[in-house]
């Protein structure tokens, strides 16, 4: 592991090392008191077993993204013992593989099923998935660091600390296949490749059932944020609805932003979709005082559409999962459940 990013961090490191290695509760938010708990993290899968050390390599080469979002070979330690997490989809996969006890630091998250990595005082608070605390990351002495797209700009700085595994979903191959490939990449670092297909076993059949329902139906997929409704294409967030499940996304076209393009409700009336799928970004990130998505969407104009009149406006029930953890195994299960409960119930 590379020891220092700059000499300017040296003084901060001496203090931070004490806090991280001594289990003194750095996982709370800035103004909160760390929980009084010394219970180790229990992941949702049994503890992982790996090959005997005599048979295992010391490092392996995987394919990951670099700071320019380009696929590249990356040498990482085999069976790393100390993991720093700055991406919820990767934490989701590690948790499903039973590797949660390797996590020494994590970004904050509101996701219920990953709260043990936030509340455990022995796991350091590394900032957020958009802004990493470099001093805290360094202090934890990780063998490897996991990031997502929001931290691509910090790739080089984090790489001075430890190898950085940067994985993402790819709308061209679909969310399910992206999860499968990313899970296989992570599992290969621990010799757990045989677990991936078991964890992914029922997803294809569930997608097929949703696809049979969606055949021949149109949809508008949108994101509510700061009082606006942004139309999403099939190349970014919520792409599973059109790419894999097969709704004809009437919003496809010139959409280039990851948050979609702000749309007029007159356009929604003109498109007149069979279904509308709505992701509430403000709810996902816990924006105080934000207007509810339903209050934004269900106006007089939208009330004239087929989607509203037929009761086909679907508010995605777990917006934080869709917005912050797309690409995880448990996240995929929750996302499919959100759609199944609305479309197949």
Name, of 133-142, 246-255, 258-267, the range with top average pLDDT: 133-142
How far apart are the C-alpha atoms of 211 and 144, rounded to whole Å? Answer: 38
- Give Cα separations from 210 to 24, 28, 207, 242, 335 (angstroms): 47, 40, 5, 11, 12
Give the rounded percent of residues in the chain with a pLDDT score beyond 90: 75
pLDDT tens track for 102-150:
999 999 999 999 999 999 999 999 999 999 999 999 999 999 999 999 9
Examine domains 7-199 and 204-343 and report if their fold is the same: yes
Taking a C-beta distance cutoff of 8 angstroms, is the pair 228, 281 a contact? no
Yes or no: is domain 204-343 CATH 3.40.50.1980?
Answer: yes
pLDDT surpasses 60 at 286: yes
110 burial class (0-12, 13-18, 19+ CB within 10 angstroms)? middle
User: Domain extents for the chain?
Assistant: 7-199, 204-343
- The CATH architecture to which 7-199 belongs is 3-Layer(aba) Sandwich (3.40)
């Amino acid at each position: 592991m590379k020891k220092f990013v700059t000499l300017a961090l040296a003084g901060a490191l001496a203090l931070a090392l004490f806090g991280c290695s001594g289990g003194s509760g750095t996982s709370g938010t800035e103004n909160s008191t760390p929980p009084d708990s010394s219970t180790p993290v229990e992941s949702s899968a049994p503890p992982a077993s790996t090959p005997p050390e005599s048979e295992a390599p010391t490092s392996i080469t995987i394919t990951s993204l670099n700071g320019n979002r380009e696929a590249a070979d990356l040498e990482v330690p085999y069976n790393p013992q100390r993991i720093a997490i700055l991406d919820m989809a990767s934490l989701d996969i590690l948790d499903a593989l039973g590797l949660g006890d390797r996590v020494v630091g994590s970004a904050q998250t509101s996701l219920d099923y990953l709260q043990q990595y936030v509340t455990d005082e022995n796991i350091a608070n590394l900032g957020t998935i958009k802004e990493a605390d470099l001093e805290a990351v360094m202090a934890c002495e990780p063998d490897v660091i996991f990031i997502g797209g929001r931290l691509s700009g910090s790739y080089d700085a984090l790489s001075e600390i430890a190898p950085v595994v940067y994985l993402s979903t790819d709308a061209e191959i679909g969310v399910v296949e992206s999860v499968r490939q990313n899970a296989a990449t992570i599992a290969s670092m621990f010799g757990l490749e045989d677990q991936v297909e078991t964890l992914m076993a029922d997803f294809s059949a569930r997608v097929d059932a949703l696809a049979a329902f969606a055949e021949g139906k149109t949809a508008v997929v949108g994101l509510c944020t700061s009082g606006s409704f942004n139309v999403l294409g099939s190349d970014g967030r919520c792409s599973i609805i059109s790419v894999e499940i097969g709704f004809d996304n009437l919003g496809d076209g010139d959409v280039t932003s990851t948050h979609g393009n702000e749309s007029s409700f007159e356009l929604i009336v003109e498109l007149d979709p069979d279904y509308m799928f709505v992701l509430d970004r403000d709810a996902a990130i816990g924006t105080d005082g934000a207007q509810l998505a339903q209050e934004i969407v269900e106006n007089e104009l939208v009330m004239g559409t087929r989607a509203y009149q037929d009761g086909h406006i679907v508010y995605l029930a777990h917006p934080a999962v869709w917005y912050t953890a797309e690409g995880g195994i448990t996240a995929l299960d929750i996302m499919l459940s959100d759609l199944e409960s609305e479309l197949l119930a």
